[in-house]
Amino acid sequence: MDYLALPFVLRNGYLDRSDVNESLRFSIGLILCTRHGSMPFEPEFGCGIWEKEFSDILSANKADIRSNLRNAIDKYERRLFNVSVSLINITDERQQAIGMAVKVTGNYTEDNQEQRFEASYTLG
Tell me how far apart the alpha carbons of residues 119 and 95 are, in angstroms, rounded to a whole number: 24
Tell me how far apart the alpha carbons of residues 67 and 30 are, in angstroms, rounded to a whole number: 17
Q: Residue 94's CB: how many other CB atoms inside 10 A? A: 6
Mind listing the pLDDT tens digit of every residue in the chain (124 residues)? Answer: 678 787 778 888 888 888 999 999 999 999 998 988 898 999 999 988 777 655 565 566 778 889 999 999 999 999 999 999 999 888 888 888 777 899 999 999 999 999 999 999 987 6
CATH number at residue 52: 3.10.450.40
Counting the structural domains of the chain, the total is 1
Tell me how far apart the alpha carbons of residues 80 and 74 are, in angstroms, rounded to a whole number: 7
- What pLDDT is attached to residue 59? 60
Range of the domain at 95: 3-123
Q: Which amino acid is at 38?
A: S
- What pLDDT is attached to residue 95? 83
- What pLDDT is attached to residue 65? 84
Q: pTM of the prediction?
A: 0.81
- What pLDDT is attached to residue 89? 82
Phi-psi category of residue 13: left, alpha or beta, with phi > 0 → left and psi -120 to 50 → alpha: left
